[in-house]
Amino acid sequence: MPKSKTTKACGLIGMLLCCNVLKAGPVFPQEAVAFSQAEVRQILRLSPLPPLPDDPSNAVADNGTAALLGQHLFFDPNLSSSQKIACASCHIPHEAWADGQKTSQGVRRGRRNTPSLLNVAYNRWFFWDGRADSLWSQALQPIESPDEMNGDRTAVLHYIRSTPHLYELYRTLFGNLEFLIQPRKLPTHAQPATAAKRDSESVQAWEAIPEETRTRINDAFANVGRSIAAFERRLVSSNSRFDKFVDGLRDGDIAKQNALSLNARKGLSIFLGKGNCTLCHFGPTLSNGEFHSLGLAPPTYASWTDLGRLTGVGALLRDQFRLTGKYANAVGKQIDLPTNFLVESPELAGKFKTPTLRNIAKTAPYMHAGHFATLRDVVQFYSEFKGADLADHHRETVLQRLRLVPDEIAQLVEFLESLTGEDVDIALTRPPLLK
Amino acid sequence: MLRPYIVQLVALLALAVIADAFAVARSVISSGGGYLVEYSSSFDPMPLNRLFSLNIVIKPNKQSGRPSPLVNVDARMPTHNHGMNTRIVVQKLEEGHYRADGLLFHMPGHWRITIDLTDERNVTEQVVINAQIQND
């Protein structure tokens, strides 16, 4: 009760201060929005972005040579069957490392929205359904996905071996790939069967390869993923206006606090309070990285049903490159891995990963199939849940209409816009120069 | 000559480290009064969005004369209508001693942990632990 009175009072003060800005020049807008001690504690936990987490499953995660090889591979369309699609075709640097499309366009049109790669190294799970549990194993899947690059692992390894600048880097890091041609040349195209590729020539070729050689191929393919991950780990964007505000809040520095506009502060207040946003969007990435169902109906352009995390768990548990598989480097105490405790439960159907809100203003359209064109649309959805299927018995009852008024929607959007960080080093936004 | 003592010392230190990793145990009597259940968490307070374990010690009521029951552990958010995204695995360490791994509370708020104790007659008693998980 006292809080709502305080909020009203603060709103009034805010209005008065806004009038003062017009009459008497700048004021310190932090006086207009009062945060409780509990809210301040919550805010301080949202920033700064901590140092990159270690990746014990990737021995070259922080190796500069691996990052250089990974950068070459990331921008190289020769990894795809069409030789036209690279990782960078969907993770476009000037599109905040997403693609600005509702669903991704690889060799074929995909069914999911392309997530941004900014700050991707902080993730616990990868893809909207979390079907990968490490950045390096994530990087491998699009290469062989029929919708994305439609390539295969032996083709990629043959290509690296026959491309001098790539092979030099690979050999320096992981040793040679001569087993691809000696004692006899391995098939140009070979890959294990998947649900999408069962009887192709490349699958038949794979099945004809001796088990021991398959393991060597898989080891080398995992190295490709590790190198791409070493590059992607460097795509960090922080120091947003919100980060500056929090820094100022921590130091009592008014000038830094002024990085956040009055409206954005009001939006922050809604984010922490009425909006209940921090139930899922908490911590320095502003995401719990876990899976929830919002009852989103399939978009009008979708002719498919997407079970999200339910199929994601199944795919992860079958992925030979998962952290509990034999291709992960030392991962410390295996028992500490959430992957050990996954189960394909019906309760997971229709759940998708909570995205980070950092840089969210730059990654439209939104949701797992690009349902909404703007942040305003997203907030409007949470406000009314118009068109959502909330009748499902698995639904999260915490999802209640927020019934935000237009000003509140605008404030929340302005807060979300304040989460845009600095651009990454421009040298990372293009293929490395060849010596 | 000193080797056996060194081995014992190392073993004691290892036990101390393991014991220290779990918080002080709390005790609860099960729903039917048949068991005293002591539990401790590998993190105290129980953490938000981080994997943790529970050590569980079950002491059957002396008058009941029951052997150790089958133990099943679950956790849900009653006000949200969902459980965890992970599955708890219970391991029997020794008679009456269990370890529940795989707990991960991915949202702040009220979590209800239930420990079901089922005896050889298929009678189940329950212990409920209410945890308020904070994000501030």
pLDDT tens profile A165-210: 999 999 999 999 999 999 999 999 999 998 888 878 999 999 999 9
Please judge whether B85 and A38 are an interchain contact, meaning their C-beta atoms are less than 8 angstroms apart. no
- Reported as a single tens digit per residue, the pLDDT across A77-130 is 999 999 999 999 999 999 999 999 999 999 999 999 999 999 999 999 999 999
Tell me the per-residue pLDDT of A135-176, one tens digit each, with 9 for 90 and over.
Answer: 999 999 999 999 999 999 999 999 999 999 999 999 999 999
Nearest to A397 among B80, B106, B107 (CB): B80
Model confidence at A399, pLDDT cuts 50, 70, 90, reads: confident
Residue B13 has a pLDDT of 44
Continuous segment of H or E residues that includes residue A291: strand A291-292
Q: Who among A282, A351, A395 is closest to B108 (CB)?
A: A282
pLDDT attached to residue B3? 52
Pairwise CB contact (< 8 Å): A340 & B102: yes
What pLDDT band is residue A395 in, cutting at 50, 70 and 90? low
Give how far A169 is from chain B: nearest CA, Å.
Answer: 37
What is the rounded average pLDDT of the residues A265-291?
97
Q: What is the pLDDT of residues A14-51, one digit of tens each?
A: 333 333 333 333 444 445 788 999 999 999 999 999 99
Helices (H) and strands (E) in chain A, counts: 15, 2
Mean pLDDT is lowest, of A76-85, A308-317, B19-28, B56-65, for: B19-28
A115 contacts A98 by C-beta, under 8 angstroms: yes
The single-letter DSSP state of residue A293 is -
> B135: distance to nearest CA of chain A, Å?
7
Identity of residue A242: F
- Which residues in chain A are closer than 8 Å to B111, comparing Cβ atoms? none
Q: What three-state secondary structure class fits A382?
A: helix
Q: What was the pLDDT predicted at B72?
A: 97
Helix-then-strand count for chain B, H and E: 1, 9
Residue count (chain A): 435
> Shortest CB distance from B80 goes to which of A335, A342, A398?
A398
> Does residue A389 belong to the interface with chain B, where contact is any CB pair within 8 Å?
no
Q: Do A295 and A395 contact (CB within 8 A), yes or no?
A: yes
Q: What is the C-alpha end-to-end distance of chain B, expressed in Å?
A: 54
- Average pLDDT of chain A, as a whole number: 90
CB within 8 Å of B50: residues ≥ 6 apart? B43, B104
Averaged over B119-125, what is the pLDDT? Answer: 93
Neighbours of A160 (CB within 10 A): 26
pLDDT of amino acid B68: 82
Does residue B21 carry a pLDDT above 70?
no
Residue B120 has pLDDT above 50, yes or no: yes
Q: Please, are residues A205 and A187 in contact by the beta-carbon 8 Å criterion?
A: yes
Domains by residue range for chain B, with CATH: 22-133 (2.60.40.1930)
Nearest 10 degrees: Cα torsion A335, A336, A340, A342:
150
- Determine the average pLDDT of the residues in A334-348: 87
Quick check: A10 pLDDT over 80? Answer: no
pLDDT at A245 over 50: yes
- Position with higher pLDDT, A357 vs A17: A357
A289 touches chain B (CB under 8 A): yes
Chain B residues whose C-beta is within 8 A of a chain A C-beta are 48-49, 51, 77, 79-83, 85-89, 101-102, 104, 106-109, 135-136
A376: which 2 tokens? Answer: 């305003």
What share of chain A has pLDDT > 90, as a percent?
Answer: 80
Q: Give the pLDDT score at A197.
A: 82
Q: What is the CB neighbour count within 10 angstroms for residue A175? A: 12
Mean pLDDT, rounded, for A334-354: 89
Question: A309 vs chain B: nearest CA distance in angstroms?
Answer: 9
Q: Comparing A55-69, A339-353, A392-406, which segment has the lowest mean pLDDT?
A: A392-406
pLDDT at B91: 96
Nearest to A342 among B49, B83, B86 (CB): B86
Across the interface, do A341 and B108 touch by the CB < 8 Å criterion?
A: no
* pLDDT, mean of residues A301-318: 89
The yes-or-no verdict on residue A231 having pLDDT over 90 is: yes
Strands, E, within B1-136: which ranges? Answer: 26-29, 35-41, 52-60, 70-77, 82-83, 89-94, 97-103, 109-118, 124-133
Count of pairs with CB atoms under 8 A, one residue in A, one in B = 70
B67-to-B62, B96, B97 alpha-carbon distances in Å: 10, 9, 12
* Weakest mean pLDDT among A10-24, A145-159, A270-284, B75-89: A10-24
CA dist A405 and A212 (Å) reads: 64
Indicate yes or no: CB of A345 within 8 angstroms of CB of B104: no
